Amino acid sequence: MGELRGFLRYDRAEAPERDPRERIGDTREFVGTLPLAEVRAQGARCMECGVPFCHSGCPLGNLIPEWNDLVYRDRWREASEQLHRTNNFPEFTSRLCPAPCEAACVLEIREGDAVSIKQIERAIVDRAFEEGWIVPQPAAVRTGRSVAVVGSGPSGLAAAQQLARAGHDVVVFERDEAGGGLVRFGVPDFKIEKWAVERRLAQLEAEGVEFRYGVEVGVDLPADELRARFDAVVLAVGSRVPRDLPVAGRELPGVHYAMEYLYGRNRAVAGTAEPAISAAGKHVVVIGGGDTGADCVGNAHREGAASVTQIELLGEPPAGRPDDLTPWPRWPVKLRISYALKEGGERDFAISTTGLSGNGRVREIHWVGNNGVPPFEPIAGTEESRPADLVLLAMGFVGPEPALLDAFGVERDARGNAAAPRYATSVDGVFAAGDARRGQSLIVWAIDEGRRCARAVDAWLRER
Amino acid sequence: MKRLGLYDPAFEHDACGVGFVARLNGVPTHETIERALAALEHMEHRGAAGADAETGDGAGILIQLPDAFLRDVVGEELPPPGAYGAGVVFLPCDAGRAAELGQLLADAVAAEGQRVVCWRDVPVDPTVPGPTAAGHQPRIRQLVVAAAPGLDQDAFERKLYVIRRLAERAAGPELAIPSLSSRTLVYKGMLTAPQLSRYFADLRDPRLASALALVHSRFSTNTFPSWQLAHPYRLIAHNGEINTLRGNVNWMAARESQLASELFGEDLAKVLPVVQPGGSDTATLDNVLELLVLAGRSLPHAIMMTIPEAYAGRAEVSPELAGFYDYHGCLIEPWDGPAAVAFTDGRVIGATLDRNGLRPGRWLETRDGWVVLASEAGVLDVEPENVLRKGRLQPGKLFLVDLGAGRIVPDEEVKSVVATRRPYREWYEQEVVRLADLPERAPREAPAEPLRLRQLAFGYTQEDTKVLLAPMAAKAEEPIGSMGNDSALAALSDRKPLLYSYFKQLFAQVTNPPIDSIREAIVMSVRASVGSERNLLAETPEHARQLVIDNPILLDAELEALRQVRHDVFRSHTLDTTWPVDAGPDGLERRLDELHADADAALAAGANILILSDRAVGPGRAPIPSLLATASIHHHLVRAGTRLQAGLVVESGEPRSVHSVAVLVGYGAAAVNPYLMLETLAALADDGRLPDGMTAGEAQRRAVKGIAKGLLKTMSKMGISTMPSYCGAQIFEAVGLAPELVERHFTGTASRIGGIGVRTLAEHTLARHARAYPGTAEELLPVVGLFAWRRDAEHHQWNPETIALLQHAVRAGGWETYEQYAAEVNSDAARRSTLRGLLRFRFPGQEIPLEQVEPAAEIVKRFSTGAMSLGSLSREAHETLAVAMNRIGGRSNTGEGGEDPARYHDERRSKIKQVASGRFGVTIDYLANADELQIKMAQGAKPGEGGQLPGHKVDGYIASVRLTTPGVGLISPPPHHDIYSIEDLKQLIHDLRCANPQARISVKLVAEVGVGTVAAGVAKANADHILISGHDGGTGASPLSSILHAGVPWELGLAETQQTLVLNDLRSRVWVQTDGQLKTGRDVVIAALLGADEMGFATAPLVSIGCVMMRACHLNTCPVGIATQDPELRARFHGQPEHVVEFLFFVAEEARRLMARLGVARFEDLVGRVELLEADDAIEHWQERGIDLSALLRPVAGGERRRTRAQEPGLEAQLDGRLLDVTEGEFPIRNVDRTVGALLSHQVTKCHLEVPRRYVFRGSAGQSFGAWLAPGIELTLYGEANDYVGKGLSGGVLAVRPPEGATFPAEENVIVGNTVLYGATSGRAFFRGLAGERFAVRNSGALAVVEGVGDHGCEYMTGGVVVVLGPTGRNFAAGMSGGIAYVLDADGRFRDRCNQELVGLEPLDEADVELLRTLVAEHEQRTGSVVAGRVLEHWDATLSLFVKVFPHDFKRALAAVSSGGEGFVTTETEDEAAA
């Protein structure tokens, strides 16, 4: 249970970050790791609560009190086992998860005091890889059943790994040229370097998972054929239809969905393709204030944009946790300054884009201020125009691509996601997991969905 | 009365006043009877009456067979004395039936070769008994039987016994024969004490003469009409209760097949079973004593066997006597309990007290040859000059009057005579074998099966290793937890809990006291023995052939020694308690049958140690739940009559906690080898998971020690002191087990809601087995989240969702958020974990408009917050709750930590002021300022246990409120030392009523089987209010086994209480409240329908002000500032009274909406309407598990369903009435004048009457003389006083001295009773003479001088000064953490009698000498003490004989204060839990 009164003795420690001015000069990861002693001191701060809200705040249900304590006690190997018990890819989550666990930590009742859980998680998985504790765990007994997993994002990978470990023959179909989904192609290298993804894919392969890249199910491989060849199919295709911006000038060249830009940047960094979109020397406007938008901003800095502006439809949230709206232990809607904005650029809230204009190419963005809350009444007299050579739409995703679901004949819910209350869709033997099922969400949800879906598939296979 | 709903007559208790009068010259006179009856009438207040005030619980008298009288009245020629006998027979009213039964008895007489002389109708006045009793009057006749020619009197007595048993067995319960003897005769009935002689004309007849008379006045918890349950029985009358009864009865049944007696010969078979079914504990003991005596043992001998004193390790017990007890321990287990037993066979008369000395008994011998003994002093008027000597019954001592010899025989003499009758000691030493002496054997090789797999097969979890085992090894005691148990009942859990979890520990409350197994360790023992027992009625050296085990938890090597014992006498046989997995779930039951046969065969082959082993577990074999195997074989052998041929030893991988071992022992295991637990501990040690590099062996030994300690605690909860009497005593209630399973394998255990059967248990076992096989040794153990919430694990009602929703609802979220919270709690949480979750409302279909329903503002007045002390809560949290409750017109509760007087008159006052066993801060001020005084008998989280506030939590403020010293740890004893039985509670209620006549008196009980009958007793004891707490209530610190396994849900306790009270028509006189994890309006309405007028909430209000269920209360690290005294953390407290107000209004609003749907406009019309509830058959899982709630929902008829009238305060006759008008005066006093001074003190405190006031009394004062005496009042008593003198003394001055004219030496005679100055807080007291047991227990500030004390003097004292100018009993200063005692150690033996765990013995310094001299001088001045005079006269010479008893903590704290510190240091030790 950590150290009695440890939370009074030690302060919270934030993860070290490279200096923004320095880090925009390269594409390497900018978040570092805490020294061992500090990690263990964070473990000491954990009180092993009777009701561990962190554990509930974590969509994966990570056994956080357990491994916090083990780290404090210097029992790293067991910590790694406990961590992997609920989480297939802690090296992804410890880099990419916004850490709702920390928002829910009992110490966070005093805002800003949470145990640095994410750093502990990172330290555990780093140590486990260093020590060679993370090795393939091929199933001892094969079941002879086969499962196709469509999509190699975190959800598909988690499902594939769990199913393979349960002894099933698993093939992952990925339309892109490599595995990892958005972790590989959406998230920039400076947040997660791609060797980390490769390393994990190698483990899956060694556990018997077969990867078929460049195969788009429903196009290259008909759905019926897939169903015929496999006992079960898991659709983990993400929520990849982006939200559009229906304003004049939307069709102009220079206006792109964020993901087009990010895919290009990742391929460029990997050296696998020349980017079609560049921010270099341009006035960049990113519409949308979320993480995807931030990643666009971060990439634009690294490309040497002339200016970067990020605008958000919603009003500016309060600086501290608004206890009347999102009290502890919920995820607080409060002002956060993204890593990318620390690196430069401007930001504005409560902005409604009214149009884009330019001569054959976008040159200006036009907007008006709004009251910050739906339905976003414009405020007269706040109309403004700004130069914009590259406009990136990062306003979220509306759902999975319908064509694939239709190809399988899978029913959709009201929001257009695959309807699969217990992971089984309306089509016998076809399952869905991750963003394709629940809509766009966090990586931790994706992994949890993959795991639970695997359990459902396994149970279904065993019953047959 | 039969079983009905949840009411079961098996749980009735009784207690009372008992006494006898004897004439030493042995000449029968009528005066003896007159005197005894007078004494009885003066103990009337110890008895009770039922709903109808004229119906008593029972009174009776036993006298010598009145030869002359009988000769006069029967009109027939009688044989000479000794050659005839007479009996008293209760026959049915129906004349025909009476005649039939009379004939049946007469036939038995003839069949046994004796002759019926005549029948005589006993003249009675049928108008005397109260209406209820009158309606059930039996036809009372006397039968005179002449002995067959030539039969000697003892043989004739045996024949009469045989005749009686034959008739009783043949007639069944319609016929009762209170006595049938040539030596004694009984008159008794369902009468009050004064009615007895008015009812029986014989008793008024001057011809009726006896030289001795035993009398008894009964207080039963229930008033269902029963004439034969009145005492005396044939040999005894009893005050107290036999805690171990269930086990004793089982063992007696097991013994019967082996009984043989030369004296009885063939007749013996006719008297079996020895124990008459349906008898009370006293009746049962009487049955056994009768057999022992008639089979040839003397009465003192039989008493010494069954109620042995605590003799182990005591220098003053002679080797012969110790040998006697050791030897007889091989024959019969102690009948343990708080007992004052008076006994007579018509020739000797005497009394004894249990080893704890928990009942009072005072005796007196006069110069003119009379001896009187009674529960109280002063029951008979004796001129002071006529008093030769006085004394009291002492723990474990016999008081015996031999009429033949014409004298009182001293204890040592009686015992020496008995103990040297035969060479018991030599026999024992020769024959007994000690496990420790057996040749050492290597433990078995660890099996090849990996540890992990076997752990999985036995359902080990990560929590087992981390939360239970590692800490147990680290601390050598059971780990501590806090807050309540909000997880699912075992029967409703989806986690397939181990069988142990279905068994809930029972505990003592009200009718018997729990014991402090730590501070009163002198009476406790875990020593056990195995082997075969022999014929109880014979005595031979071979009877001592037992194998003695010092500790019932065996290490592997010890088990091997036992298994391989190569002693000509012992032979072990190992039974394999696993079954083949491929036989499926049904294989388990079949295997049990095989095991029964195997056991029979082994016994037939001469085995006398049966080892029940599941070592064979592996891929192909699953373990039978060890408890099922043990209990099943135990009961099989009991039924087969062979149980005593062998001891049962359990070798199992399953037990791993205190509770698991306790249940195994409770169902018959003499010893347990928890091999997998030991192996797991070794693995933990080897893996470096235990502190300080502890070795495997060390870890195992420490864990064994921890479990043994926990086992003692578990036994002590029920007031049981020794292993043999706990073994097989079945002190458990099963919750969630099928009746067939319980009936067959756990025979006699209460199981009231049905549940799962053997097959389901087998399926659960196989599911666990399947996790292990196949499996890998690398797999981590599962996480089950029993002690802390985990996702996808054990369900907890308080979980992240419900806590967050509730907190949000009261702060910003409002009603909508509350509705989400309530929906979550009601629909999901409750269904998955509580009984109320299985119920649904029967909506009548006719709603009423919401506006017509009583407003929420009225409903919330029925709510109160739980008793959480200042000390367990921070000041901020405590005051927040109080303010909130005052604002809504509800009630908050001080808890047991007192209250800051500054809060008495403002918004922060708690209306309910609790009176708990520690009596912290309980002053006359505190009492006088209450609206309700609550006597806390038990606490849901740890019923039957005390508590401890460690020194580091006692800061200056807490100490000032508790009237103790900062930094000094405080102990709350497990029992109230003024409540060892129901009539004591009645006395305390009376005391409190005197201390505050306006306050309502509440008694807090915890649900367990039988709580309904206890509640009935409480109602009869004149309480106004009864709180039934569920087992799941919270705590600041408690052993984990207690949090999880003691007590039952409030739904059961409340329903049983309601049913019993209504059946008795007692419900109309009391309010009933319930609490225990109440969270929503639905809970409230269900509670009301099951019978509650009021509801208590504790955890939920805490959650509303910020508690997040850290369960760290015991660590003082509460991060939200609620359960901590750390200033830094208290600063983090952000709760507001509004949060609590908001929550309770939400709850009330939810309740209103339900009421509208139920069509009930007023809350009071909900109360007891159980017909508006039904089991929810839409929920499937519990039906599959066989749960049956019909007993819970059973409506009963009898009386009102809610309170309609007030209790009679009963204060009119209070002597204080006469004291109010005068500031000084002299008054006669006698034992019926109880609690003198308390009412006066109340008036002085509340109405500021003029002081000083000085009063002088002459006579024998009743109990609680000078209780809570206020400053400025002085009472001087010439005479003597009973128990509880100066209880809670609050500043007044008391002096008790012998009457003028007394000629006996005061310092050698008892002047005040037991438990004097209990919880005294200030003032002074002087006693010229000896005091009883537990003098100045929990004194925190009074100064006292006394001339000698009994056992346990100054126990738990925390302040004040006690001077003892004479001898002390044993265990002086146990648990004494503060204050000082000066003891005149004339014989130099004090050191041995003092418990030096917490105190040091030091010479006096200058300040001590000055203080001592002042006190001794005042003692002489106020009491005329000769001893004080001598001391003062020879001051310098005497001074060196004084020893200063100085508690270590206190010394440290004083030093810290004098060096300018706050007096306490914050240390980081965990709280101890409980005593």
User: Which of A8, A50, A55 is opposite residue B1128, by nearest beta carbon?
Assistant: A8
User: Which of A5, A328, A329 is opposite residue B1117, by nearest beta carbon?
Assistant: A5
Which of A51, A82, A101 is the best substitution to test chain B (most B C-beta atoms within 10 A)? A51
Asked if A90 contacts B826 with a C-beta cutoff of 8 angstroms, the reply is no
Query: For B1312-1352, how does the pLDDT look when each residue is reduced to its tens digit (9 = 90+)?
Result: 999 999 999 999 999 999 999 999 999 999 999 999 999 99
Q: Which of B435-449, B750-764, B1332-1346 has the lowest average pLDDT? A: B435-449
Query: For B100-152, how does the pLDDT look when each residue is reduced to its tens digit (9 = 90+)?
Result: 999 999 999 999 999 999 999 999 999 999 988 898 999 999 999 999 999 99
Distance from CA of B886 to the nearest CA of A (A): 27
Chain B residues whose C-beta is within 8 A of a chain A C-beta are 462, 483, 776, 780, 783, 787-792, 796, 798-801, 803-804, 807-808, 811-812, 1106, 1108-1112, 1115, 1117, 1119-1120, 1128-1129, 1132, 1468
* B11 pLDDT above the threshold of 90: no
Contact A63 B783 (CB under 8 A): yes
Mean pLDDT by groups of 10 residues along chain A of 464 residues: 91 96 97 96 95 97 96 96 97 97 97 97 98 96 96 98 97 98 98 98 98 97 97 98 97 98 97 94 97 98 98 97 96 96 96 96 98 95 97 97 96 96 97 97 97 98 91
ipTM over cut 0.90: yes
- Residue A342 sits at the vertex; the CA angle it makes with A338 and A348, to the nearest 5 degrees, is 65
* B888 pLDDT above the threshold of 60: yes
Distance from CA of A151 to the nearest CA of B (A): 27
Q: How confident is the model at residue B1468, as a pLDDT?
A: 35
Chain B CB contacts of A82 under 8 Å are 780
Contact B1108 A51 (CB under 8 A): yes
Query: For B940-964, how does the pLDDT look when each residue is reduced to its tens digit (9 = 90+)?
Result: 888 888 888 888 888 999 999 999 9
Residues in chain B: 1475
Query: For B971-1015, how does the pLDDT look when each residue is reduced to its tens digit (9 = 90+)?
Result: 899 999 999 989 899 999 999 999 999 999 999 999 999 999 999
**Nearest residue on chain B to A48, judged by CA atoms?**
B1110
Structure tokens at A107: 């110490």
Q: Which candidate, B802, B794, B894, B974, places its Cα nearest to that of B1337?
A: B974
User: Which of A52, A109, A323 is opposite residue B1120, by nearest beta carbon?
Assistant: A109
Sign of the dihedral through C-alpha B1113, B1116, B1119, B1124: positive
User: Which of B787, B811, B1129 is opposite residue A327, by nearest beta carbon?
Assistant: B811
HEC secondary structure over chain A = CCCCCHHHHCCCCCCCECCHHHHCCCCCCCECCCCHHHHHHHHHHCCCCCCCHHHHHCCCCCCHHHHHHHHHCCCHHHHHHHHHHHCCCHHHHHHHCCCHHHHHCHHHHCCCCCCCHHHHHHHHHHHHHHHCCCCCCCCCCCCCCEEEEECCCHHHHHHHHHHHHCCCEEEEEECCCCCCCHHHHCCCCCCCCCHHHHHHHHHHHHCCCEEEECCCECCCECHHHHHHHCCEEEECCCCCEECCCCCECCCCCCEEEHHHHHHHHHHHHHCCCCCCCCCCCCEEEEECCCHHHHHHHHHHHHHCCCEEEEECCCCCCCCCCCCCCCCCCCCCCCCCCCHHHHCCCEEECCEEEEEEECCCCCCEEEEEEECCCCCCCECCCCCEEEECCEEEECCCEEECCHHHHHHHCCCECCCCCECCCCCECCCCCEEECCHHHHCCCCHHHHHHHHHHHHHHHHHHHHHC
Residues B348-374, mean pLDDT to the nearest whole number: 93
User: Which of A47, A110, A329 is opposite residue B1117, by nearest beta carbon?
Assistant: A47
Q: Which candidate, A21, A23, A43, places its Cα nearest to that of A32?
A: A23
Query: For B243-290, how does the pLDDT look when each residue is reduced to its tens digit (9 = 90+)?
Result: 888 889 989 988 998 999 999 999 999 999 999 887 888 999 999 999
Q: How confident is the model at residue B443, as a pLDDT?
A: 84
Q: How confident is the model at residue B1469, as a pLDDT?
A: 36
Residue B1473 pLDDT level (bands cut at 50, 70, 90): very low
Residue B1037 pLDDT level (bands cut at 50, 70, 90): confident
Q: How confident is the model at residue B15, as a pLDDT?
A: 63
User: Which of B791, B801, B1111 is opposite residue A50, by nearest beta carbon?
Assistant: B1111
Distance from CA of A377 to the nearest CA of B (A): 26
Residue B684 pLDDT level (bands cut at 50, 70, 90): very high
Query: Is A318 part of the contact surface with chain B (CB cutoff 8 Å)?
Result: no
CB-based burial, B369-389: b 16+ in 10 Å, e otherwise: ebbbbbbbbbbbebebebbbe
Q: How confident is the model at residue B223, as a pLDDT?
A: 58
Residues B1180-1187, mean pLDDT to the nearest whole number: 80
Query: For B364-421, how does the pLDDT look when each residue is reduced to its tens digit (9 = 90+)?
Result: 999 999 999 999 999 999 999 999 999 999 999 999 999 999 999 999 999 999 999 9
Q: How confident is the model at residue B1327, as a pLDDT?
A: 98
Between B1105 and B312, the higher pLDDT residue: B1105
Contact B788 A4 (CB under 8 A): no
Sign of the dihedral through C-alpha B885, B890, B896, B898: positive
Q: How confident is the model at residue B2, as a pLDDT?
A: 66
Chain B CB contacts of A106 under 8 Å are 1108, 1110, 1119
**Nearest residue on chain A to B687, judged by CA atoms?**
A75
Residue B95 pLDDT level (bands cut at 50, 70, 90): very high
Average pLDDT, chain B: 93
Contact A51 B792 (CB under 8 A): no
3 state SS of B582: helix
Residue B829 pLDDT level (bands cut at 50, 70, 90): low
Which residues 36-75 of A have a C-beta within 8 angstroms of B?
47-53, 55-57, 61, 63, 65-66
User: Which of B462, B483, B807 is opposite residue A50, by nearest beta carbon?
Assistant: B483
Q: Which of B277-281, B736-740, B1397-1401 has the lowest average pLDDT? A: B277-281
Query: Is A7 part of the contact surface with chain B (CB cutoff 8 Å)?
Result: yes
Query: For B848-865, how does the pLDDT look when each residue is reduced to its tens digit (9 = 90+)?
Result: 999 999 999 999 999 999
Q: Which positions of B are catalytic?
A: 16
Asked if A403 contacts A218 with a C-beta cutoff of 8 angstroms, the reply is yes
HEC secondary structure over B217-275 = EEEECCCCCCCCCCCCCCCEEEEECCCCHHHHHHHHHHHHCCCCCCCCHHHHHHHCCCC
Contact B1108 A7 (CB under 8 A): no
Distance CA B675, CA B444 (A): 10
Query: Is A21 part of the contact surface with chain B (CB cutoff 8 Å)?
Result: no
* B1475 pLDDT above the threshold of 60: no
Contact A57 B800 (CB under 8 A): yes
Distance CA B506, CA B10 (A): 14
Contact B1119 A63 (CB under 8 A): no
Distance from CA of B1108 to the nearest CA of A (A): 7
Contact B808 A327 (CB under 8 A): yes
Distance of CA B1049 to the CA centre of its chain: 19
Q: Which of A144-148, B69-73, B220-224, B382-386 has the lowest average pLDDT? A: B220-224
Chain A CB contacts of B1111 under 8 Å are 49-51
